[in-house]
Chain A
Amino acid sequence: GIQVEQSPPDLILQEGANSTLRCNFSDSVNNLQWFHQNPWGQLINLFYIPSGTKQNGRLSATTVATERYSLLYISSSQTTDSGVYFCAVERNSGAGKSTFGDGTTLTVKP
């Protein structure tokens, strides 16, 4: 099956710093999503981004489908950004299997 690798596995930042999280996948995909799970377990869908670039406030994401990777940018990080960031890909529209990466655990220190 398709492999999804996220890097780095762990990241510690000082509040205000910027960061880039990466998601590599081993085969062509039709869709890709980024999720954030906060320290209390709440999961939030951040971006649905099969290709191109999207921005939402301090967060932005870019997917280069032809090169099989996606990047999540967090600018001016805040302590509330702490948690685990997951990337998930889907191979075939309508009948596909969603595969998640292991996640990047982000800790933002005040």
Chain B
Amino acid sequence: ETGVTQTPRHLVMGMTNKKSLKCEQHLGHNAMYWYKQSAKKPLELMFVYSLEERVENNSVPSRFSPECPNSSHLFLHLHTLQPEDSALYLCASSQRYREETQYFGPGTRLLVL
């Protein structure tokens, strides 16, 4: 248990659906991250929020929309996804942006049909 929780743990959605992934951290951290891990591909950093402001957006398609309403919560809103978006989506947090230790949640395994 790392103090970072993610819901749901598994999600199956059609290409026309709209869904949201949720991440919550109970560590008092100020930075939160979304990563994507696809089969047979390296981990990809998608978004970084520091003090509730987005500080990195690594060329992610607009069908992925992050939201950070406060320093403890991070959402990833999904709409009109493609089958190739199926992956494990990992959330992480750290005390400060670029602080040494990132704590990861268990991930949401997403399948797009």
Give chain A's interface residues, CB within 8 Å of chain B. 4, 31, 35, 41-45, 47-48, 86, 88, 93-103
Q: Which 9 A-B pairs have the closest CB atoms?
A: A100-B42, A98-B45, A48-B100, A45-B102, A43-B104, A100-B43, A97-B58, A45-B101, A102-B42
The answer on a CB contact under 8 Å between B98 and A48 is yes
With A42-B106, A43-B104: A97-B59 Cβ-Cβ less than 8 Å? yes
Main secondary structure of the interface of A (DSSP, over half): strand
In the complex, what residues of B have CB within 8 A of residue A35's CB?
43
Complex: chain B residue closest to A41, CB-CB: B107
Chain A residues near B99 (CB, 8 Å)?
A: 48
* Cβ contact within 8 Å between B42 and A101: yes
- B 1-20 contacts with A by CB, 8 A: 2
A100 and B44 contact, CB distance less than 8 A: yes
Q: Considering only CB atoms and an 8 Å cut-off, how many residues of chain B contact the other chain?
A: 23
Contact B43–A41 (Cβ < 8 Å): no
Interface residues, chain B, CB within 8 Å of chain A? 2, 35, 42-45, 55-56, 58-59, 88, 90, 92, 94, 98-104, 106-107
> Are A43 and B98 in touch, CB under 8 angstroms?
no
Contacts of A4 in B (CB 8 A): 42
Apart from A35-B43, A86-B43: 18 A-B pairs, beta carbons within 8 A: A42-B106, A43-B35, A43-B43, A43-B92, A45-B92, A45-B101, A45-B102, A45-B103, A45-B104, A48-B100, A94-B55, A97-B56, A98-B45, A98-B58, A100-B43, A100-B44, A100-B45, A103-B42
Task: A107 to B36: give the CA distance in the assembly, Å.
Answer: 24
Residues in B neighbouring A48, C-beta threshold 8 A:
98-101
Question: Smallest CB-CB separation from A6: which chain B residue?
Answer: B42
Residues in chain A near residue B103, CB distance under 8 A: 45
Given A88-B43, A101-B42, the answer on whether A31 and B98 have CB atoms closer than 8 Å is yes
Q: How far is the CB of B36 from chain A (nearest CB, A)?
A: 10
26 inter-chain pairs at a CB distance below 8 angstroms, sorted by A residue, are A31-B98, A35-B43, A41-B88, A42-B104, A43-B35, A43-B43, A43-B90, A43-B92, A44-B104, A45-B94, A45-B100, A45-B101, A45-B102, A45-B103, A48-B98, A48-B101, A86-B43, A88-B45, A94-B55, A97-B45, A97-B56, A97-B58, A98-B45, A100-B44, A100-B45, A102-B42
